[in-house]
Structures are given as C-alpha cells and as structure tokens.
Amino acid sequence: MNGSDLVQVAIDVPLSGTFSYLTQSAVMPGARVRVPFGNRLVCGVVVTPIPGEGVEALDASKLKRIEMVLDGLPPLPDEFLQLVRFASSYYHHPLGQTLFTALPTGLRDPKNPSRLDKRPFALSAGGLAEAPPARQKARLALWQAMQDGPLTLEAAKAVTPQAGKLLSAWLAEGLAERVSPEPVPLRLGDAPELKDEQAQALAALRAQPGFQPWLLHGVTGSGKTEVYLQLIADHLAARRQALVLVPEINLTPQLIDRFASRFPASRIVVQHSHLADGERMHGWLDAWHGEADVVIGTRLSVFTPLPRLGLIVVDEEHDGSFKQQDGLRYHARDLAIWRARRAGIPVLLGSATPSLETVANVEAGRYRKLALNRRAHGSARLPDVRLVDTRRKKLAEGLSEPVLEALKARLARQEMSLVFINRRGFAPVVACTACGWTSGCPHCSAKLVVHLMERKLRCHHCGWEEPVPRACPDCGDPDIKPLGEGTQRLESALQRMLPEARVLRIDRDTTSRKDAWDEVYRKVHAGEVDILVGTQMLAKGHDFGTLSLVAVLGADGGLYSADFRASERLFSQLMQVAGRAGRAEAAGEVLVQTQWPDHPLYHALVAHDFDGYAASLLDERRQAGFPPGVFQALLRADCPELAQATAFLRQARDLLEPLAEGVLISGPAPALMARLAQRERAQLVLESPQRGALHRLLDQLQPVLDGLAKSHGRALRWSLDVDPQDW
C-alpha cells in the first residue's frame, strides 16, 4: 500500500472492535497515538489485531492516517494490554472502552504530553560510542554534558534550548534512554513479634512462591494486615513490587501511615479515583517504570502496570466495592487472580467474612486457606453476642427495653456505643409477624418484593406478579407487613429518649465529603461521642477504639429478601459490626433485636461460627440454583417507559434462546431498583452451571442486540453485567 502500513487502534467509543489507520513508519503495539475520528481528534492506543475480527474489505481511499505518535512515553507494556484484553472479553465490554477505563485520565488525552515522564535522560551504549560532529555545536554540548551522568530535561535545557527536540530524537534512535533512580536499600520500621497463628500463616505463604490464591481468613483484629506487611517485606527485599487492593472506605490515612512507617525508605504509591489527575498519573507512571515499590489502592489499581510485581493482596476481599457497577463492570478481585496466574505469583485474599465464592473455591481446592482465629492485640477478646427477642416485647419507637438499658449503662460509664440500623432500602419482602411466613415466588426460588403503591408482589428473577394478600396465606393472621419497617425514625427517637447523649449519625450524606471520616475519627478519639448511629457504612473495617456496645436494629429485613445474597451480606455485616466491639481491653457486648431468634444466622452469630453458617448458605444456594453454583449474567435495559424496556428484553430473549445452549434465560423482570433517574429498569437473567456455556452465548450477543436496539431508538439503553452482585 504505497509504503504505508495498516495498524489497529483502540479508541474510547462504545463500539466493539478496533479501527484501522495508515501509518508511515512502524508503530509498536501499546503506543498512544492521536487519530482523527469522526470530526474530532482523539487519543487511541495501537493494538495487535483481534484474531477473527479481520480488517479485510477496507476501502483504502477512505482510510485515515495516524496524525502523530504521542511520544514522551514508551508503548504501554504488554502485561497491561493483555489484562485489558482479558477484561474486555470476559466482561464483554468494547476493547477501546475497557482500555480507556484502565488508563488514568491523564493518559487519555490526545494532546502531546511529552513532559509526562520525569525521569532523567542518559546516553545509551550506542549514544556514548560516537560523538556528534564538532560543527553541530548544540548536539555536541549536550552529548558532552551527558558524559558526566544522566540529566533531567530541565538540566539539559540549561545546556542548550534545543535539548527537548534533540533528546526526543535520540530516544527514538536508541541513542538515549530514560533512567530510573538507583534503588535505595530496604529499611524496615518496628514490627511486633508474630503470634503463633500469624507465624504459621507466614511460613506457609513463604513456602510456596509461585501462583496460588490464598485465603487469609482471620477474625477482625487478628492481625491480617501484620501478615501482609511481613510478607510484603520479603518481596521488597528481593526488589519485587507489591499491589495491595483495599475497599474504598478502608483506604485511610492510618492505613497508608502504617505502610509508610513499616517501609520508610520505599516508594509507596496510592491509587484511587478521588486523586487529582496529575497525582494519579504520576503514581501510575512510577509504578509502571518500576520506581514504586508498593501500590495501595481501590479497585481501579488492579490495572496498574508493575514490571517487578511479586505479590497481590486483596484486603476485605468480600467487599462489594471491588465490583464496578457501571461501564466496565469488572470485579477487581477476580481480575487480580487472573493477573497473578499470568504472572505466576501468589495472591492473598484477606477477610474476616470471605465471600461465598471464595469459600467455594477453598472447598474445591483451588484456593488454600490460612486461619487466624484469635485477636492479636493484648487481651482483646471476641464480643458476647446476645439476641433480644422482640416478639413479646413492647418497643418504644423500635427500641427494646434491654437495648435502651444497655445504652444507658454505657452512658453512665462514659463508654461509647454504636447503634447499627440495617436499612435495606427499596425492596422489602412481606412477612407474617405471627407465624414467620414470607412471600416466596411460586415459580422460582426468589422472594417476592412488595410494591405498596400498586399493592402487588413481584418476582425480580422470573417476572411473576400477584396481589398482596390481605392475610397470611399460612395462618390467616391479618398482621402481615414489609420486613424492616419501623427503622426509619430511630435516629431521632434515640436522641429524644436519651437527651443527654451526644449522638453522631453516620451515613452517606454525612460522609460524602472528602475529609468527613477524619472528622468522625477525630470526634470519636477525642471522646466527643457517646452513641454512633448509622447504617451499612459502619460495618466496614473501622477501628473506633473503646467501643463497648453494639446494638443491631432492623436486621430481620436481611433474613428474607428478594436478593439471594442478602443473608450472606447481613451475616457478614453483623460479624463485621460486632467486630467493632471490644477491640481494646474491655470486652464488648452485641445486642441484636429480632423477631426470629431461632434463625440459624443468629445462632451462628452468637457462636461466632462463620464456617458453619457459610457452609449452610452454600448448600442453600446450590439447592436453589444460585451462584456460586451457577454462573450468571444480567442483560439490563432501561428506558423512560417500562413497557419498552420489557418489550426489548422479550425480543432479545426470543433472539437469544435459539443460541442458548445449556443456558437458562429468565425474565424480563423489573430490576430491584426498578426506577432510577426517571428511567425504568428491567432485566433478563442468563445463567448456566457451566461458565463456558454462558460465555459462548455472551460472545454472540453484541451483534444481535445492537441490531435490535437500533429498532428501539435512542431512548433505550442496554448493558450486560457478568457475575452481577446487585440486582
């Protein structure tokens, strides 16, 4: 083609496949380029062509040229491109959009960012070998200056104003290279002597250096982080890098300080979505260039390129924030495991309440489990958990007498309490207060959700609908109502009944500001709070010091729910929230108000028996045909009109069913959160006991649905969620 090559470029647009462009000189895969697209100039990344997605039958006269290679950086590394490609194919998300989700914002820019790489320049062996001719004064001066050692761009410019251009050319010709600073020897801050269980875990981890997913199952406060730190120290000593993924809420200054003071000479890079673009990008580049030793970050940091990666840690692996809920709906833990396998390195998942997926993987022998059953710190013990049976008790605004008394006792002793309100929000199941009947679907194993306005019960799995019964179908008692009702007014009730208490409420509103948690911690540790009140947010890994009482209200709502993961989440949350009590010297107490004191979940909670309850939940899931026994994907559609979303999905089902070998398609059904931002949401469930069968169907879905969606016009949007966590 008259001296031009054809390359494939991935671009940030919602179209599958890549785009062909002409180029004059060879461009490496991974190079960032500026290309014309439609009527704008955009940033793209050159990729190797996707097998099977040929570029034949291109009209050469219509092909456009790459405008320029965005230099200043070497091509993106192959390991990064491979991870992106895997994520794109597994989550069935366009390659270009996947790639641009994985890149920091600063690298998505089509402007030529030649100043991105701050590393100094040095002459390569080839560059050193031959001096420029004496008549090229600027060149010679720069060359001579670089004989004495690497120069930063600024220093080089002081030698000659042409330095920028010259160095770019030398880089391209291989006469110069970028150099990283000499590594400093590892220094280690003070570490406690490991307890027996910790030492055993560390020894097991050290004995197996290759790929292996590990579950470090340790009760709250058992010293998991200490195990991570000591294992990471091994890798840093061997000049390897470590990647530590943590949930959003756990990425606190305290945690970063703990790493920084353990590894005072090492470069620790933090990656999360609230960083300023420049800061995020420079951390990313340092990691890629091998200069960062440890990367600590939220789910997005799983994509950070790390050429010397030796270990991945996923702390609180059960946490929902590892799953992205829009765009590329990836699960960072699952990508971390794929990445570790590729790199042949260990991946350590830590949790006090591992996900059932992980428990099942341990059971199947794919993951190895290490247990820490005792708290590490001094005399700290697990709290005493007691149930408060509210069936025969009169509640004052939802508060039982024993809970009120316990709160008063703490107030009198000037100890802090926490009131945890389980608020499930929008999808209540109806229950009978007399016999415990709950609304189940007659056609599948899901629970029916009450829609009070229409007085209907609906199944969000298969779409079944029926009127709300007037009385309990089992015992005839008319007193049936949505579970979890009555928790809404609790906060103000508490304040009224205990006027002398200083109550601090924690929820999404009060903690949305960036430094809000710092303020919470400051107040708590300054002793300015008597009672912390809050919802799910409190169940995460916070250390509130001298907390001695945890009261749990409204938990029953999670026992019987339309979301089959609700009881797993409730149990995990209650274990975690109970773990907030008695972390220091004083033993903690946990009181749980419930109408179902005989429920196995509460029995397991009282006995601190995670393993037993997880095993019974797994059994239940397998019998009901829910994950991890089966693999699921949700095909979602949303539209201003529910009828249109449903019609689209019905047509989609008809088109997909003939292709669905070994895959069950159910629905359409309204989403659990059926209405969001003026749009009605509905979904199809695609599921199969074979991951392969499910993905074979998903592979064929895009062209089928693109065609169908066109006939529905712009108002309709669809998306696919592989391994969905939320309904």
Residues linked to residue 669 through DSSP beta bridges, in sequence order: 683
Should residue 459 be labelled a site residue for Zn ion when binding is judged by CB under 5 A?
yes
**Closest to ligand ADP by CB, 221 or 724:** 221
Should residue 195 be labelled a site residue for ligand ADP when binding is judged by CB under 6 A?
yes
Q: Which does 477 bind (CB under 5 to 8 A by kind): Zn ion, ligand ADP, none?
A: Zn ion
Q: Which position among 63, 141, 194, 204 is part of the footprint of ligand ADP (CB under 6 A)?
A: 194
- What mask of x and - would describe binding to ligand ADP in positions 377 to 406, judged by CB under 6 A? x-----------------------------
Listed ranges 107-115, 164-172, 219-227, 466-474: which one lies at the site for ligand ADP (CB under 6 A): 219-227
Q: Which residue has the tokens 């009482």?
A: 549
List CB contacts of 239: < 8 A, sequence separation 6 or more.
Answer: 183, 308
Name which of 337, 343, 339 is nearest 367 in CA terms: 337
Should residue 376 be labelled a site residue for ligand ADP when binding is judged by CB under 6 A?
yes
User: Helix H segments across 579-609?
Assistant: 600-606
Question: What's the min distance (Å) between Cβ of 359 and ligand ADP?
Answer: 18
Should residue 443 be labelled a site residue for Zn ion when binding is judged by CB under 5 A?
yes
Q: Which does 195 bind (CB under 5 to 8 A by kind): ligand ADP, Zn ion, none?
A: ligand ADP
Should residue 470 be labelled a site residue for Zn ion when binding is judged by CB under 5 A?
no
User: Helix H segments across 238-276?
Assistant: 253-262
Q: Which residue has the tokens 């205990």?
A: 498
Q: Which position among 224, 282, 374, 542 is part of the footprint of ligand ADP (CB under 6 A)?
A: 224
Should residue 247 be labelled a site residue for ligand ADP when binding is judged by CB under 6 A?
no
Listed ranges 15-23, 29-37, 221-229, 476-484: which one lies at the site for Zn ion (CB under 5 A): 476-484
Class of residue 336 by CB neighbours under 10 A (exposed 0-12, middle 13-18, buried 19+)? buried
Strand ranges (DSSP E) for 208-331?
Answer: 212-218, 241-245, 268-271, 294-297, 309-315
Pairwise CA distance, residues 577 & 535, whole Å: 10
Please answer whether residues 33 and 44 qualify as being in contact, where contact means their C-beta atoms are separated by less than 8 angstroms.
yes
**Closest to ligand ADP by CB, 118 or 377:** 377
**Closest to ligand ADP by CB, 192 or 527:** 192
Listed ranges 75-83, 190-198, 355-363, 686-694: which one lies at the site for ligand ADP (CB under 6 A): 190-198
Q: Which does 225 bind (CB under 5 to 8 A by kind): Zn ion, ligand ADP, none?
A: ligand ADP
List CB contacts of 367: < 8 A, sequence separation 6 or more.
Answer: 213, 214, 215, 349, 358, 361
Pairwise CA distance, residues 302 & 334, whole Å: 10
Listed ranges 110-118, 175-183, 216-224, 426-434: which one lies at the site for ligand ADP (CB under 6 A): 216-224
Q: What phi and psi, each to the nearest 5 degrees, are found at residue 382?
A: -70, 150
Q: Which does 223 bind (CB under 5 to 8 A by kind): ligand ADP, Zn ion, none?
A: ligand ADP
**Closest to ligand ADP by CB, 11 or 202:** 202
Q: Which position among 472, 553, 591, 684 is part of the footprint of Zn ion (CB under 5 A)?
A: 472
Q: Which position among 12, 177, 197, 226 is part of the footprint of ligand ADP (CB under 6 A)?
A: 226
Listed ranges 215-223, 245-253, 545-553, 656-664: which one lies at the site for ligand ADP (CB under 6 A): 215-223
**Closest to ligand ADP by CB, 192 or 278:** 192
The reply to whether omega before 668 is within 30° of 0 (cis) is yes
SS3 category, 411: helix
SS3 category, 142: helix
Question: What's the min distance (Å) between Cβ of 221 and ligand ADP?
Answer: 4
Residue count at the site for Zn ion (CB under 5 A)? 16
Question: What's the min distance (Å) between Cβ of 508 and ligand ADP?
Answer: 24
Q: Which does 321 bind (CB under 5 to 8 A by kind): ligand ADP, Zn ion, none?
A: none
Pairwise CA distance, residues 49 & 20, whole Å: 9
Should residue 572 be labelled a site residue for ligand ADP when binding is judged by CB under 6 A?
no
Please answer whether residues 636 and 681 qualify as being in contact, where contact means their C-beta atoms are separated by less than 8 angstroms.
yes
Q: Which does 474 bind (CB under 5 to 8 A by kind): Zn ion, ligand ADP, none?
A: Zn ion
List CB contacts of 568: < 8 A, sequence separation 6 or more.
Answer: 355, 356, 617
Should residue 477 be labelled a site residue for Zn ion when binding is judged by CB under 5 A?
yes
Listed ranges 221-229, 408-416, 488-496, 570-578: which one lies at the site for ligand ADP (CB under 6 A): 221-229
What is the greatest pairwise CA distance in the chain? 103
Q: Helix axis angle, 78-90 relative to 95-102, nearest 10°?
A: 130
Should residue 222 be labelled a site residue for ligand ADP when binding is judged by CB under 6 A?
yes
Should residue 317 be labelled a site residue for ligand ADP when binding is judged by CB under 6 A?
no
Should residue 354 be labelled a site residue for ligand ADP when binding is judged by CB under 6 A?
no
Residue count at the site for ligand ADP (CB under 6 A)? 15
Should residue 223 be labelled a site residue for ligand ADP when binding is judged by CB under 6 A?
yes
User: What torsion, rounded to 10 degrees, do the Cα atoms 33, 36, 39, 40 define?
Assistant: 20
What's the distance, CA 138 to chain centroid? 51
Class of residue 473 by CB neighbours under 10 A (exposed 0-12, middle 13-18, buried 19+)? exposed
Should residue 432 be labelled a site residue for Zn ion when binding is judged by CB under 5 A?
yes
Q: Which position among 18, 225, 271, 576 is part of the footprint of ligand ADP (CB under 6 A)?
A: 225
Pairwise CA distance, residues 245 & 235, whole Å: 16
692: left (phi over 0), alpha (psi -120 to 50) or beta: alpha
Q: Which does 572 bind (CB under 5 to 8 A by kind): Zn ion, ligand ADP, none?
A: none
Q: Which does 377 bind (CB under 5 to 8 A by kind): Zn ion, ligand ADP, none?
A: ligand ADP
Name which of 351, 340, 263, 359 is nearest 302 in CA terms: 340
Should residue 582 be labelled a site residue for ligand ADP when binding is judged by CB under 6 A?
no
**Pairing status of strand 346-351 against strand 368-372:** unpaired
- Residue ranges that bind ligand ADP, judged by CB under 6 A: 192-195, 198, 218, 220-226, 376-377
- Residue ranges that bind Zn ion, judged by CB under 5 A: 432, 434-435, 437, 441, 443-444, 446, 459, 461-462, 464, 472, 474-475, 477
